[in-house]
Amino acid sequence: MPLHTAPDVERIHRTAPALDAPFADVMAGSARWEIRVHDHGFAALVDSMPRMVPTLAGQAPTADFAIVQAARVSYGAGTKKISEDRGLIRYLMRHRHSTPFEMVEFKFHMAMPIFVARQWIRHRTANVNEYSARYSIVADRFYHPALEHVRAQSAGNRQGGAEIASAATAEEFLAYLQRVEEQYADYQRLLEKGVSRELARIGLPVSIFTEWYWKCDLHNIFHFLSLRLDEHAQQEIRDYARAMYALIKPIVPVACEAFEDYRLNAMHLTALEIEALRSGRALASDNKREQAEWDAKRARLGV
């Protein structure tokens, strides 16, 4: 067809597969669902794919439909008799069939401290476009934790915090942050004197906020959430993960239920752990970390 020729819209409409159910917007006509995080941050859902889905009488529209639709095309005619939608989605999650979950995508607008963003960006399966401090002036927004949220270094985890720091130490740390934040005035002053934005930004701390648009498919969002909702993840990024999960759960409730049952709240056992559990003997490993992990699993299992 020549590029200047309009497509035969009527013919396309006639040959499209008919659906008995009416369609509805999974975001109920909203342009944005937003949850505030910390003093200056937010997690906002700005779009979903699919956005319009078929509805059934008495049921809220959900994008779980797209997961089932994609899965059934692999099997051919008659698949609908094998299982109801919920059972199929749970089967897919249970047996790690990831492709159908990739048929659902979400786009978020996020504002978070740079130190959270640097952890987040390690998940390389999303499309990201971040606020650029080369082109724009960074706003005067800093993450400043409350006194009771200042954590001491974990004795068993080199990259994590554990119990709350002493009151005196926490106050000293917050005073340090206050002095760092006061340097923002120097950033502004030097910009006004003509220092380029791309250079002036290098003196800003990682507690200052950045923003980005982040688009990802559901399979990889679940992978992100399985790591960042874990109790070993840094508290600040867990706060954003909880907000993200709260935003998508109404749109894919069945998939989220399966995610919670088979990923988030589930447990993976190694071959050594299965043998120890079966035999009732100690774990056949002298690795201290493996032993500690097995002890934690045993405690959770109550054995």
Secondary structure letter of residue 49 according to DSSP:
E
Mean of pLDDT over the chain: 89
Domain match, 226 and 124 both: yes
Based on the fold, state whether residues 197 and 211 are members of the same structural domain: no
Instruction: Tell which wins on pLDDT, 60 or 172.
Output: 172
Domain total of the chain: 3
Which range, of 155-164, 205-214, 245-254, 271-280, averages the lowest pLDDT?
155-164
100-133 burial, b at 16+ Cβ within 10 Å, e below that, comes to: bbbbbbbbbbbbbbbbbbebbeebeebeeeeeeb
| Residue that finishes a domain, picked among 203, 219, 241 | 203
Taking only the tens place, the pLDDT of each residue in 94-114 is: 999 999 999 999 999 999 999
Q: How many CB atoms lie within 10 A of CB 233?
A: 16
Q: Could you read off the pLDDT of 147-201 as tens digits, one per residue?
A: 999 988 877 666 667 778 889 999 999 999 999 999 999 999 999 999 999 999 9
Domain span at residue 104 reads 1-141+207-266
Rounded to an integer, what distance in angstroms lies between the CA atom of residue 235 and that of residue 114? Answer: 15
Angle at 239 between CA 234 and CA 245, to 5 degrees: 120
289/248 same-domain check: no
Statement: residue 82 has pLDDT above 70: no
Long-range pairs of 242-249 with CB within 8 A, sequence gap ≥ 24: 243/35, 243/37, 243/42, 243/43, 244/43, 244/108, 246/35, 247/33, 247/35, 247/43, 247/44, 247/45, 247/106, 247/108, 248/45, 248/106, 248/218, 248/221
Same domain, 151 and 279: no
Q: Which residues pair with 212 in a beta bridge?
A: 110, 130
**Domain CATH number, residue 5:** 3.30.1360.170
Residues 168 and 80 in one domain: no
**In 10 A of CB 258, how many CB atoms?**
25
Residues 237 and 102 in one domain: yes
Do 275 and 129 sit in the same domain of this protein? no
Task: Cite the active site residues.
Answer: 228
Which among 203, 222, 249 is the end of a domain? 203
pLDDT at 11 over 70: no
pLDDT number for residue 79: 46
- What six digits make up the tokens of 188? 């502004």
Per-residue pLDDT band at 295 (split at 50, 70, 90): very high
- Spatial CA neighbour of 221 closest among 248, 239, 254: 248
Residue 266: per-residue pLDDT: 95
* One domain for residues 217 and 72: yes
Domain end, chosen from 182, 203, 224, is at 203
| Residues 160 and 74 grouped into a single domain | no
Q: Are residues 137 and 220 in the same domain?
A: yes
